[in-house]
Structure 1
Amino acid sequence: MSCSRCGFQHNCICHAEPRLDSKARFILLTHPKELGKDTNTGELMLRTLPDSQRYTWDRVNPPAALLDELRAPDNQPWLLFPSDEEHPATAYWPESDRQPLFILLDATWQEARKMVRKSPWLAQLPRLSLSPSSASAYQLRRNQQAGNLCTCEAGIALLELLGEVDQAAQLNEYFQAFIDTFHADKSGHAKHTQS
């Protein structure tokens, strides 16, 4: 029987789950194809950052509650997405009277590009681009592109950008526990630990 929280059957990692906080809020705008995937690392953020939230992307009907949050005067929304000629990246600057609201596209890169292209309301947000200092540790899917981060790694990088390095380190440890356990659990055996 799989753990109802972490989803692993033979190697529960709930003992490694930290309880984090941040001055920012994290919104996962999730492509419908990502919902329920056991390789989805956005779940790690939802479990550990109590003020994070998931909305499901819909091309025709944008989530009304999310649109309200983007318009709220006390929020400072940012779309985490690579810049292009039409939408240059903006340097992150915090406004003391507004809470940072980071929108992360929880999808494959192909899906994320489509989400941005087909959602004009996303194009209106200032874009924040990350320059990862190390290669992604996420190798659970095929066709990974060099230089791209998975959702949880992007969250870790954003925590570092905010100067919340202890929170970032704890989330990274939890992410590593997930990565280190995934294949053993899916192949149906307990992970061997060194004594």
Structure 2
Amino acid sequence: MNDQVKDAPPHAVARLRATCIALSPTRPRLDRGEPRQQRCAACRLPPSHCACALRASVPTRAGVCLVMSEFESLKPSNTGWLVADVVPDTFAFAWSRTAVDPALLALLADPQWQPVVVFPGEFAAPERVVTELPSDPTRRPLFILLDGTWAEARKAFRKSPYLDHLPVLGLQPEQLSRYQLRRSWHEHHFCTAEVAALCLALAGDAHAAQLLEAWLDVFSDRYLRARQSVAPDPEDSTHRRLHSLASVSRQTTTSP
């Protein structure tokens, strides 16, 4: 394992997962197969397909706030975890219909951030919908992503009154989703990491967007190969692209 990954403190989604496990001893089984697979605690892949040595992060102007459905952080295929791998300023909170984490309210009220809810505009009042980020150079964009199944995300959007005063960013991506780890009824439904990458690009964090896309591709490739008992190919084009982008990230973070 990459020593930097091994020694790094757990990110926001990892901490939320640990809390969920501690509070939910009767949580549902979310790993597929029999028997349950052993998984790396840092990347959630089987040890034979561990990708920790390939992980990289990059500073960004934008932040990401993940509001996650009850058991989403426990799913090995969750891609909000990948966002937190790449974007240092990622925050994660469990969604509840009856309560809201005070830390989430404090984050939304923090004057350094300009929060915007990322959700299809047709589900919001027209006056809330924006197609561009609010223009305020003194505040950093904070993208609020509702992380869960489509039904869970719609429920969270409807029943979170503390989000009702915020603008809603309706993305209009031209490409179809490449995510293959879970089925969706609609090809235009993007996974959380894909949405986050689109948001980062919109905020001017182009390199972080590309790095997140490449990390998602490698994670998906290794996840599916592990499921099929096929060894990963670290020399294929997917891995080479991630390696190239990660090298640029490391040069950026170490340069004076």
Shared fold (TM-score, shorter chain, > 0.5): yes
Aligned length: 195
- Could you tell me which runs of 5 or more consecutive residues in structure 2 were left unpaired when the two chains were aligned: 1-37, 237-256
Per the normalisation by structure 1, the TM-score is: 0.92
Q: Distance in 1 between matches of 2:198 and 2:228?
A: 30
Q: Which has the higher contact order (CA 8 A, sep 6+)?
A: 1
Shift of 1:139: 1.9
What are the within-5 Å matches in structure 2 for residues 17-166 of structure 1? 17-84=55-122, 86-88=124-126, 89-90=129-130, 91-166=132-207
Distance 1:95 1:194, change over 3 A: closer
The residue aligned with 2:44 is 7
The residue aligned with 2:250 is none
Secondary structure in structure 1 of the residue aligned to 2:155? helix
Distance 1:73 1:139, change over 3 A: same
After superposition, the C-alpha distances for 1:139-186 in whole angstroms (9 at most, x for unaligned) are 211234121110000111011101221211111111100111111113
Secondary structure in structure 2 of the residue aligned to 1:77? strand
**Structure showing the higher helix proportion among its residues:** 2
Shift of 1:123: 2.0
Per the normalisation by structure 2, the TM-score is: 0.71
Structure 1 segments, 4+ long, off by >4 Å, are: 192-195
Distance 1:86 1:160, change over 3 A: closer
Q: Distance in 2 between matches of 1:116 and 1:68?
A: 19
The answer to whether the 8 Å contact 1:184/1:191 transfers is yes
Distance 1:118 1:193, change over 3 A: same
User: Structure 1 vs Structure 2: percent identity of aligned residues?
Assistant: 34
Q: Distance in 2 between matches of 1:128 and 1:106?
A: 15
Please, which of 206, 211, 214 is the counterpart of residue 173 of structure 1? 214
Shift of 1:68: 1.4
Larger Rg: 2
What is the Cα-based RMSD across aligned positions, in Å?
Answer: 1.8
- Could you tell me which runs of 5 or more consecutive residues in structure 1 were left unpaired when the two chains were aligned: none
Q: Distance in 2 between matches of 1:141 and 1:72?
A: 35
Please, which of 181, 191, 194 is the counterpart of residue 232 of structure 2? 191
